[in-house]
Each structure stands twice: as structure tokens, then as C-alpha cells.
Amino acid sequence: MISRMVLATLALLVPAAAIGEIPAPMAWNAKTLWDAWPTTRVSPPDPWALKHAGLRVALDQLNTRHPGLFSIVEEGLSSEGRKIPLLRVGSGPTDILLWSQMHGDEPSATLALMDVLNWLGTNQRDPVVQQLLSKLTLWIVPMLNPDGAERTQRWNAQEIDINRDALRLSTPEGRFLKAIRDRVKPVIGYNLHNQTPNLQAGKGGSQVAMALLSVPGDEAFSETPGTRQTKRLAVKVQQLVNTLVAGRVSRYDTDYTARAFGDSMTRWGTATLLIESGGWAGAEEAERLVRLNFVALLGSLSAIADGSIEQVKVQDYALIPMNHRDALTTLLVRNARLAGGRGLPPFTADLSFIVPGPFVGDALHYKEPAVVEVGDLSYAKGLTEVDATGMLAVPWPTAVPPEDWSSLKASLAARGLAEVNEAKLVATVHTLGESAVAKPGYTGAVLLYRTSGTGPLTLEGAVLRGKVVGIPVIHVSTEATGTPP
């Protein structure tokens, strides 16, 4: 039997893991990683500007800057013949597969992966980096769908959603990803995406900046050792990100989909964590989402490497609020009296608008800023809101350049419509017919007139391309202004 003195001496010389104990966590905290990102980043300001050629340049530069950090193990070919690199980083016994941009218009994590590589290379003497690279082998596909990225579209050049091709494997990109999984047999997969920015973290919650899912491997959502681990990972990411964006982390809402790659990966034996970048309205939104991914990836990977992930409570996964859909919109105009081209008497209504970005998602959406709903929208929340109580809202289809309020106001004044009685204004709009009806899909201007008892209406503002001009807006909570600590 080994004496207590011998054990005490061994404890001073041998890492705790070597004598059967879980090592003390060494992971960086989220604030440290967040603060380090600006001087570490190699990613461009606009994620959608990074195409296949730019990715290859970035990888060459990283390889020159940090020789030996990673190798390009092999390259697949896209439908149009673009090379798809598979990177190998680290030499540890635990294999982890990370793939990004299988949807060509979802690049946030692709940029974050470039920044992660630069961080690992720059800090190779850091004990946490050394532990990560010695415990894990990362297999990274930074841009699975380069043809889609070239077009800023979801689908590949065959117009197939690669993420729905796990069974038929009609796409060369899907076949490449499946071949990697079958050969490497990673224990954990990171499936990295973007979701629509107009979701809330639970009913009435804040705009979702990041959604997480322990991806199921069957219809019953059976819990296995693998799914328990991805639930711990989801909780770990929530803990990291919540310190920066409190209340903006959700659980992705989904059913089991056998033909989807994430579900299939889990079914094949690679338990998969889905990370979906959402929205964080305000200046530099896209860059902040890349920065959050940087924190989430490094923080969760280091927790796997040092073993601290085992201390995360699986049951806390159920406490992550679900994605809540159909309640968040870009702009909400409340309590207006609405007129239109059909000549109906003005009636009280709210109007919601969506201003689309480069990300489309899994369905066809409006390509231009547009009205999406009219009526009682008391259930809804706008990233920006306007209280139009006491105002008459009038659809006004026009070819005026975006946000050109002065030109619009001058043209209306020239027609005697800057100050006008209500009957004349309603009659004028009636002559425009169906083109001046505020309904889902309407993309024209909406004029906002202030009423003053029995006197004339005064033009006070407008909604032009989904933005309010001429009158002050109300920012709800910190949706469009919040920044991390």
C-alpha cells in the first residue's frame, strides 16, 4: 500500500489527472477572450465579404504566421470545382469535428474559426492552449459550401440544401463531410450556422444572439452519453455567452430530421452541438456575433480539454429558454390611424416591418424592406418602435431614394400635401388604388401625419425602407443599443 507521504509527494510532481482525479479547470473566462479578440482577429468586418478565394488567402497567411499549427489534411471539391479544405489542429486522443457555412449565407462562425486559429497560434506557450492541443484533435471544415458563399445563398450550385442531404448524398459537399466523419469518427461535432435575427429568447425575451441545441439522434430524443455531453456543452456555452449578452441565449427549436446532417451525425455516433448565430441589433452587429462565436468556441473546447465540462449539470440544459418566433420585428409602428388606396375609412392599427439582411434562412423571405403584418400587434416587440398615437398613417408608393426624407417632403409640399385636411388626403390616396394599401409585402413609403383636432393634418415623418425619418423613435429595452460589459 502506498503511504500518505508518498501520495502527497506524487501530487506535487504529477498532474491530478494522472492519479485519477479531474484536473482543476484551466479555461479562460469569457471576458478575457472577449477583450482579446480585437487584437487577435484576422477576420474582415463584413462576414459576407469573405469568399472562397479570401478564405484560401487567410489560411495561407495563418500557415505562414504559425507554421506547424495546422495542416490541410485533404481537400474535397464543390459542385463547381472549388477546393474544400479539411484542417487538422492538435494531436490529442479526443477527435472533434467542426464544420461551418454548409449554408453559403451563414458565415459568422467561419470568421470566428479563423480568429480561433490565430489565437491558438499566437498563444502556443499558454498552458491552456498547450493542454487543448495535446488533449484534442480538431478537424475543421471552415467553409463547406464555397459555391453558395460565392452567391451569398443558402444552397449549393445544384440548388440543394446540403444540410438536408445526409441520406441521399447527392451533393459532393455532403459526401465529403460524411466521408470525414466515417474515417475520423469524432466523438463530438460542432454544427455552426446562422439563424434568423428576429427571434426572442423565450416569450417576451430579448433578441437571440446565439441559439444552442443538443442535436437529437432519433425521433424520441433519446438521451445517450453523447447527447448528455452536448447538453453540457450547450450549458457551458450559455454560461460563457450570458456573461456578455445576458438574456440573449436560447435553445434552438427543432424536430428530429433524419435527412439533416446534425441529426444524422448524432445518429451515426458523433454527438453534435448546434450553434446558431442570431441577431444583436445595433452598430457592428455582424462583428459582435463573430466575437461571440470566438468566445463560445474557445471556451467550450477548453472545457472539454481540461475535463471541467464533466462538472456542468446536464439538467441545466432544460432551463435554457426556447427560441420564440413570430413576435420580434425590425420596426413596429403602434397605435396609428391607417388609411389606404381602397378608400376605406381610417382605422386603428399597428404596422410591423422587416428589413432583411444578407442571411435568408430556410425559406424565401422579402428581399426589400416591407410590411409584414397589420392589426393588433400588442403581442409583438420591435427592435425599434414608434408610438403613432394621434397620427394618420398613409401608404405612399414612391421611387424616392432610400431614406431621402427631404426630397419626399419637398415633393409632397409641392402637391399641397405637407399640410392638408384629412378628407383631401384620403381622397388623394384613394386615387392610387391597390398600390397604396399597407399589407404584407408592401415596400413603399408610409407617411405619418399629425392630427390636431379639427385643423389640417401636418406631415411629421415617414417610414422609408423600414426606417423612421422625421420623428423620434423609441428603442425597446437595449435591443438596438446594448453592448457587453
Read off the pLDDT of residues 173-183 as tens digits, 9 standing for 90 and up: 999 999 999 99
Count Cα neighbours of 88 within 13 Å in the Cβ-side half-sphere. Answer: 16
CATH architecture of 7-324: 3-Layer(aba) Sandwich (3.40)
DSSP conformation letters of 52-93: HHHHHHHHHHHHHHSTTSEEEEEEEE-TTS-EEEEEEE---S
The tens digit of pLDDT for each residue in 311-356 reads: 999 999 999 999 998 889 999 999 999 999 999 999 999 999 998 8
Please answer whether residues 446 and 432 qualify as being in contact, where contact means their C-beta atoms are separated by less than 8 angstroms.
no
Helix residue spans in 170-250 (DSSP H): 172-184, 225-242
Roughly how many angstroms between the first and final C-alpha of the chain, as a whole number? 53
The tens digit of pLDDT for each residue in 87-111 reads: 999 999 999 999 999 999 999 999 9
- The secondary structure of residue 164, as a DSSP letter, is G
Going from the C-alpha of 189 to that of each of 113, 192, 263, 265, 399, the distances in angstroms are 14, 9, 11, 8, 49
As annotated, the residues of the chain forming the CATH 3.40.630.10 domain(s) are 7-324
Partners of 331 in the β-ladder: 353, 384
Mean pLDDT of 240-245: 94
CATH architecture of 328-475: Roll (2.30)
The tens digit of pLDDT for each residue in 424-473 reads: 999 999 999 999 999 999 999 999 999 877 789 999 999 999 999 988 77
As annotated, the residues of the chain forming the CATH 2.30.40.10 domain(s) are 328-475
Of the candidates 374, 378, 328, which has an alpha carbon nearest to the alpha carbon of residue 479?
328
Higher pLDDT, 3 or 372: 372
pTM: 0.87
